[in-house]
Amino acid sequence: MQSYYYALDLKDDAAAIAEYEHWHRPGIIWPEIVTSIRAAGIEDMEIFRTGNRLVMVVKMADNHVPSAKRESESDAKTQDWEQLMDRYQQRLPWAEAGQKWVPMGRIFSLKEALAVI
Please provide the CATH number assigned to the domain covering 2-115. 3.30.70.1090
Q: At CA 69, angle to CA 67 and CA 72, rounded to 5?
A: 115
Residue 9 reports pLDDT greater than 80: yes
Span between the terminal Cα atoms of the chain, in Å: 26
- Would you tell me how many other CB atoms lie within 10 Å of the CB of residue 101? 19
Give me the chain's average pLDDT, please.
93
Band of residue 68 on the pLDDT scale cut at 50, 70, 90: very low
More confident residue, 72 or 45: 45
Looking at residue 67, its pLDDT comes to 61
pTM value is 0.89
